[in-house]
């Protein structure tokens, strides 16, 4: 059997490709890009919520938020490690991020204006991420699939914590309830955009589905997210900002309004509210840390020399 036939047979049997297995160049490149974008999203995603750690209004919420942002650093760390099993290098991937040559999830280019945003990010953004990521636990690339299992477990914890914060705030003052509704209004549509362009305009989907590194189309996952979120919004007592949102008994799904795809394109292409700030923050941290990493490398080299 040729190497390519063995690869294809492995995929067809729903078994995993491991780092030392032969794989087509296109598969390797696509996996590196997919994993790196996911890792970048975790690291950039620390910023919008990280900004509220020092300002959290109770010590319990502070501890929850700090632990969550720490989890995101951990997700980034093992995703970069998964990419490294394919021959990528973490430092190089970070450079690609800060030079704008690799993308991250556009959702993190929106600002977190109030503490309710922390809850809504947990509920909607992490909820959408879970819908996207649960199928990736069955990705054909072994290290990524295994990383996703752990990540999804933690994301589902974050999602519940976010929802619980919103539930608590909705039982609070009128001002707090307004804060929650305002945050829902601002995050609902960007959350729907997290699933990517409509299937008709998603050129890579077919190949990715064939390689089993993508298991459902963008529109399927988006629909699933809408159907899950509607009863949750109603239990919470908030209104989702879409006048066209209603149950369709024939489809047995919710219909929803047209997404502003021009906004998604604008934010992806770098013109979102905070693209420049997010990258600049990451670039500065990388630059400020350079002397520290050099020192660690120099120290390690000295120790190596001593041990001979």
Partner 1 sequence: MSFDDAYQALTDHDDDARWAYGTGFADPLAGVPTALPDGVDHADLAAYCLMIGDDALIMSHRLQQWVTRAPELEDEMAIANIGLDLLGQARLLLTRAGEAEGGGRGEDDLAYLRDPQDFRHVRLAERADADFAHLVARLLVFATWRLALLDRLSASGDPVLAAIGAKGVKEVAYHRDYAAGWVVRLGDGTELSHRRMQAAVDAVWPLIGELFEAHPVELRLVGVAVDPSLLRAEFDGVLAEVLRVATLHAPGPGAGPGPSSAGDSSAGDGSAGDGPVRGRDGFHTDELGEILDEMQGLARATPGGVW
Cβ contacts of 281 within 8 Å, gap of 6 or more: 47
Using the rule CB under 8 A, give the single segment among 19-27, 30-38, 227-235, 244-252 that binds partner 1: 227-235
Q: Is residue 35 a contact residue for partner 1 (CB under 8 A)? A: no
| Smaller CB separation from partner 1, 23 or 98 | 98
Q: Is residue 29 a contact residue for partner 1 (CB under 8 A)? A: no
CB of 154 to partner 1, least distance (A): 5
Among 203, 288, 307, 308, binds partner 1 (CB under 8 A): 288
Q: Is residue 304 a contact residue for partner 1 (CB under 8 A)? A: no
Residue 9's CB is within 10 A of a number of other CB atoms, namely: 11
Cβ contacts of 209 within 8 Å, gap of 6 or more: 215, 217
Query: At which residue do the structure tokens 């890009």 appear?
Result: 33
Among 8, 85, 176, 202, binds partner 1 (CB under 8 A): 176
Using the rule CB under 8 A, give the single segment among 4-12, 173-181, 251-259, 265-273 that binds partner 1: 173-181
Cβ atoms of 165 and 122 within 8 Å: the answer is yes
CB of 23 to partner 1, least distance (A): 26
Cβ contacts of 165 within 8 Å, gap of 6 or more: 61, 64, 118, 119, 122
Subset of residues 61 to 120 that bind partner 1, contact rule: CB under 8 A? 61-63, 66-67, 69-70, 73-74, 76-77, 80, 90, 115
CB of 80 to partner 1, least distance (A): 7
Among 28, 228, 242, 259, binds partner 1 (CB under 8 A): 228
| Smaller CB separation from partner 1, 23 or 193 | 193
- The residue ranges that bind partner 1 (CB under 8 A) are 43, 46-47, 50, 53-63, 66-67, 69-70, 73-74, 76-77, 80, 90, 115, 130-131, 134, 137, 150, 152-154, 156-157, 159, 165, 168-169, 171-173, 175-176, 224, 227-228, 231-232, 235, 281, 284-285, 288-296, 298-299, 302
């Amino acid at each position: 059997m040729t190497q390519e036939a063995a690869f294809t047979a492995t995929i067809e049997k729903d078994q995993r490709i491991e780092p030392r297995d032969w794989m087509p160049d296109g598969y390797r490149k696509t996996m590196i890009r997919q994993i790196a974008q996911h890792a970048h999203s975790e690291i950039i995603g620390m910023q919008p919520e990280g900004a509220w750690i020092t300002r959290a209004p109770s010590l319990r919420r502070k501890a929850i938020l700090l632990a969550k942002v720490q989890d995101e650093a951990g997700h980034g760390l093992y995703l970069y490690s998964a990419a490294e099993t394919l021959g990528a290098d973490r430092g190089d991937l970070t450079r690609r991020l800060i030079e704008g040559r690799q993308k991250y999830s556009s959702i993190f280019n929106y600002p977190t204006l109030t503490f309710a945003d922390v809850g809504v990010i947990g509920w909607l953004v992490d909820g959408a991420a879970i819908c996207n990521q649960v199928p990736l636990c069955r990705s054909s690339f072994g290290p990524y699939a295994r990383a996703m299992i752990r990540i999804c477990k933690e994301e589902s914890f974050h999602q519940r914590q976010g929802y619980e914060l919103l539930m608590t705030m909705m039982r609070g003052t009128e001002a707090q309830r307004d804060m929650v509704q305002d945050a829902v209004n601002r995050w609902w549509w960007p959350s729907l955009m997290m699933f990517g362009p409509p299937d008709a305009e998603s050129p890579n989907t077919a190949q990715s589905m064939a390689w089993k590194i993508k298991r459902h189309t963008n529109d399927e996952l988006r629909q699933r997210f809408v159907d899950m979120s509607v009863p949750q919004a109603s239990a919470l007592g908030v209104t989702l900002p879409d006048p066209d949102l209603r149950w369709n008994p024939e489809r047995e799904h919710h219909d929803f309004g047209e997404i502003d795809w021009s906004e998604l394109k604008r934010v992806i292409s770098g013109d979102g509210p905070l693209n420049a700030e997010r990258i600049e923050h990451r670039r500065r941290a990388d630059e400020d840390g350079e002397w520290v990493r050099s020192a660690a490398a120099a120290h390690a080299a000295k120790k190596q020399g001593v041990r001979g």
